[in-house]
Amino acid sequence: RNAMRIAPSLLSANFARLGEEVSAVIEAGADLIHFDVMDNHYVPNLTIGPLVCEAIKPYATVPIDVHLMVKPVDALIPMFAHAGASIISFHPEASEHIDRTIRLIRDSGCKAGLVLNPATPLGVLDHVLDQLDLVLLMSVSPGFGGQSFIESVLPKIEAVRRRIDASGREIWLEVDGGVKPDNAARVGAAGADTLVAGSAVFNGGRYREAIGAIRAAALQ
């Protein structure tokens, strides 16, 4: 594999100086900015919305990768598109009409992603894979940064990689949750091409070293 995108999750950034944090991780090699939106309803935590996305947009010289953990989801899509999102991903459990939500995202000019929780079966991809730009596999249950990587997701990554390759389309395969330098090799070998990392990037304070270590491991 010759491409491995690293998407630092702002969830573990210093929220008192978010713009500087965005600039710092981009300077350190980030390919995307992962933006976690939680509503205290679909997930038991509350984070940031379109206003904050718009506020960081001037600092984000790489695409903003919005991960919506909200229910319902549709009304927020045009708002995030206007706020500068490039990619918008949502959980099928949070949408009454998955096909409609994907169309809303694409019609708003963004790339569309579907997010599968660790226990969500791959069958949800059956009738929509040809309309997706990205599949995001959760390797923790959504809601919090700093959780441990769930190993049973590794064969799931392999299975989605096979489906994407069989589709013949360019669909990104992103993995989110507990990704660290010490498991990134297995995540990359399983077929991921885009890795989210929150605590592994922000907690040590050495962004370039952390991003470099994850990327190097994943490309092994």
Catalytic center residues: 36, 176
26 vs 202, which CB is nearer to ligand DX5? 202
One of 34, 111, 156, 215 touching ligand DX5 (CB under 6 A): 34
**Residue-wise over 94-109: b if at least 16 C-beta within 10 A, else e?**
bbeebeebbebbbebe
How many residues line the site for ligand DX5 (CB under 6 A)?
A: 21
Cβ atoms 43, 68 nearer than 8 A: no
**Does residue 200 belong to the site contacting ligand DX5 (CB under 6 A)?**
yes
Strand partners, 111: 87
Q: Among residues 121, 117, 104, 110, which one has the least CA distance to residue 88?
A: 110
39 makes contact, choosing from Zn ion, ligand DX5, none, with CB < 5 to 8 Å by partner type, with: none
**Does residue 9 belong to the site contacting ligand DX5 (CB under 6 A)?**
yes
78 makes contact, choosing from ligand DX5, Zn ion, none, with CB < 5 to 8 Å by partner type, with: none
**Looking only at residues 132 through 151 of this chain, which bind ligand DX5 when binding is defined by CB under 6 A?**
140, 142-143, 145-147
One of 29, 50, 84, 178 touching ligand DX5 (CB under 6 A): 178
Instruction: Phi first, then psi: give them for residue 121, nearest 5 degrees.
Output: -70, 155
**Minimum separation from the CB atom of position 152 to ligand DX5 (A):** 16
**Residue-wise over 177-188: b if at least 16 C-beta within 10 A, else e?**
bbbbbebbebbb
Cβ atoms 91, 112 nearer than 8 A: no
Binding site for ligand DX5 (CB under 6 A): 9, 11-12, 34, 36, 67, 140, 142-143, 145-147, 176-179, 196-200
